[in-house]
Structure 1
Amino acid sequence: MKRAIIDLGTNTFNLLIGTIHGRNLTISHSTKEAVMLGMGGINQGKIAEDALDRAKITLTKFKEIAVADGVTEILGIGTSAMRGAENASELIGWAKKELEIEIRVISGDKEAELIFKGVSLLHDFEEDGMIMDIGGGSNEFILANKSGVLEAQSFNIGVSRLYQMVDQPEIFTPEIRERIDRFFEAETKGFFTNKQTPHLIGASGSFETLYEMMHEERFPMDQQMKELPIDQVRSLIDWSLKATLEERMDNPWIIPMRKKMLPFAAYSILWVMEKLQTERVSICPYSLKEGAFTADLS
């Protein structure tokens, strides 16, 4: 049966419509909108009024797309911004009453589980790999091999939190880097100690932007893993950390919603690469929403 999954992310709402048979996911429609649900409130534990308005407009649009595609079952999945928001119930109640869309707010552990399930549809984990999913509110890390998940954690260190925590700067300064270093160390609580894992697997999102900047083309829609040359990854990270906001705005391969927060995503990747002693970087276009197709969320 054709289903629709809406991933209500802290920065982006993603709609995925399709059917799944075993590990075969057939996608009939996929789209995303930069809702910025966490902007103006995530670090205060609320969803700002203008963010609620943007969310309602986008959910209405997604419902229309799903209905036009013949979908009767639509499930919304709330993540970090909704987990920590005291007024999340307002959006949940509105979506149920006005659109007949049920939104289930999941834990960080469940989010990591669904991300692993999504990546596993395309990647067989013949060797140990660390999945990294960069979100606006939280980042998920899943260490896995062919036996399955070895360890998984969700940390509230997403790029929107960071960006707002340091007052939305235009340039990523050494002072900001030092502050974020301290924040990462405090929040991850030793998770990366003795976890040298050469293969870093980026789950869609910001990693796809690295691909697009590197190849000067949009990320392919062929539903295949992509490997990026490690030296070019480091070069792009270095540029992203040094570039002014004007330079990022002028780069056509950085999608609009990532132009302001790109240095924070880039530094997040660099910090993890140094911790893991990364030698390979791959991108998986599947993540939470694809994983949700394989899971029982009842």
Structure 2
Amino acid sequence: MKIAIIDLGTNTFHLLIAAVRFGEPFIIYKTNVPVRLGEDITKENSIIPLAFNRGISCLQEFRKTIDFYKIKTIKAVATSGVRSARNGNDFVTAAKEVAGIAIDIIDGDEEATYIYEGVKWSGAITQSSLIMDIGGGSTEFILCDQENVIWKKSYNIGAARLMQSFFKSDPISLKDQLAIIAHLDAQLTELITLCQIHKPKTLIGSAGAFETFDTMINPKLENYTATIDYNAYQELSSKLINANHLQRANMDGLIPLRVDMIVMAALLTNYVLTKLNIKEITLSTFDLKMGVLAKSVEH
């Protein structure tokens, strides 16, 4: 069975057309578009008109591609940017009417489940681990081992949301950094407590920002997973945090969409590594989209 999967993220819309053969994914086509649906979303808790129109236009283009490949089965899921917006349902209605795409708004628990299924499929989980998926609107954490999910939760601390609330200086000031840390302290109490009990050995980053970290450290990724050297990551994160926008924009491997949000991702990753005393970092290139694919072919 061939299927089109659309992941409507707060920053980026993804289209994946794929099949599964002998238990392995076969990618027919994939693309992503920096729609920035969550632009200024924290001000009115609403998708602003420009972003709304960008999103619908993107889905119209996705529909043309899906029709070109003659795909009949479409699974479209919307995450934090749509589910947290007052006009999120209006966007879903417009997508159906204008682009002919039915969208499921999934909650944070479903999002974390799909992420886990994708990461598990990649083979990245080899011991007690904490999976982390930094989105634009939310960040998901899944505490797990090779066989089971121990705990999972989605928090409204995505990179775009943090940037809109706390990124007041460039390079980011110590004051802004401390404000972010205080915010994370207040938000992540349950995560820290549970991880102190279960002591995950590895932080597994699900695509997104972690793929950027890995690309900037080691551009030649050939597998579904990769080990990110801890010391190299620390050096990179310090470089990103201390640079200004123009300096980051000129760094190799850093796409325009992430030039500023990568600072938030680095601060968030540093917080988790420090609080949990984790020294091993793994990248899984399989993320929510691959989890949706995995679950879709089960049925």
1:154 matches 2:157: no
- The alpha carbon displacement at 1:86 in A equals 0.9
Aligned twin of 2:25: 25
Q: Between the two proteins, what is the percent identity of the paired residues?
A: 30
Instruction: Summarize deviations over 1:87-137 as a string: whole Å, max 9, x none.
Output: 112211111112221100000010000000001111263310111000001
1:212 aligned residue: 215
Contact 1:143-1:149 at 8 Å conserved across structures = yes
Say whether the 8 Å CA contact 2:169–2:176 is kept in structure 1: no
Query: Which letter does structure 2 place at the counterpart of 1:72?
Result: K
1:184 maps to 2:184: yes
**Residue correspondences, number:** 295
SS at match of 1:5: strand
CA distance in 2 between counterparts of 1:256 and 1:111 reads: 26
Report if the CA contact (8 A) 1:42-1:137 is conserved: no
Q: Corresponding residue for 2:36? A: 36
Q: Say whether residues 1:196 and 2:199 are aligned partners.
A: yes
Instruction: Quote the Cα distance in structure 2 between the aligned partners of 1:124 and 1:88.
Output: 34
Cα distance between partner residues in 2 of 1:83 and 1:188: 21
Q: Deviations over 1:120-172 (max 9, x none)?
A: 11126331011100000100011111221011111100010111012554321
Residues 124 and 50 of structure 1, relative CA distance in 2, 3 Å threshold: closer
* TM-score normalised by L of structure 2: 0.94
Counterpart in the other structure of 2:48: 48
CA contact (8 A) 1:127 1:146 kept: yes
Cα distance in 1 for residues equivalent to 2:104 and 2:42: 18
Is 2:65 aligned against 1:62? no
Q: Which residue of 2 aligns with 1:249?
A: 249
**2:269 aligns to what?**
269
What does residue 137 of structure 1 align with? 137
For 2:46 and 2:258, the matched residues in 1 are separated by 22
CA RMSD of aligned residues (A): 1.7
Runs of 4+ in structure 1 displaced over 4 angstroms? none
Contact 1:163 1:169 in 2 (8 A): no
SS in 2 for 1:274: helix
**Which ranges of structure 1 fall in alignment gaps of 5 or more residues?**
none
Counterpart in 2 of 1:234? 234
Most deviating of 203-212 and 118-127: 118-127
Say if 2:119 and 2:291, in contact at 8 Å, map to a contact too: yes
Q: What letter is aligned with 2:86?
A: E
Question: How many Å separate the matches in 2 of 1:139 and 1:43?
Answer: 19
Instruction: Name the CA shift for 1:43/1:186 in 2 (closer, same or farther; >3 Å).
Output: farther
